[in-house]
Amino acid sequence: MMFFKKIAYHDFEGIGISAEEGKRLVSNLGKDKFCVILRNHGLLVGGRSIAEAFMNLYFLETACRTQVLSMSTGAPIIQPSEQPISVFLNTLEQLKQKNGFASFFASLMRMIDGMDSSYRD
């Protein structure tokens, strides 16, 4: 639900090294979206911080995986109405304003450091 009306799409154009493709990506993204599904290629996300961008990528990848698994069952996908989505998005924005993503991201970093902090070298 956190990606409701927040995902843009971009067709695959080969290796993305041209400034012109960068302009098209920005155009696809627009002003109100923070995630792009690169068709036949992958995901691209943004955020107001590294923590928020990481969480957007984590949850978008999880949502994509869940959708593919759900679709593979052949059962109809039940879509929630806009009212509960709106309530959810308001709650999520309040969490973001309280820096909730930063706290979660910091806890993940501590967990990774506990396993192996050599990536910091």
Q: What is the pLDDT of residue 118?
A: 94
| Closest to 81 in 3D by CA, of 2, 3, 1, 12 | 1
Decide: 68 and 60 in contact? Cβ < 8 Å: no
The band of 18, judged by pLDDT with boundaries at 50, 70 and 90, is: confident
Structure tokens at 89: 């998005």
pTM metric for this prediction: 0.78
Q: What is the pLDDT of residue 85?
A: 92
Kindly list the domain boundaries of the chain, sorted by start residue. Answer: 7-120
Q: What is the pLDDT of residue 1?
A: 87
Report the topology of domain 7-120. Answer: L-fuculose-1-phosphate Aldolase (3.40.225)
The band of 49, judged by pLDDT with boundaries at 50, 70 and 90, is: confident
Structure tokens at 102: 């930063």
pLDDT in tens, 52-95: 889 899 999 999 999 999 999 999 998 899 999 999 999 988 88
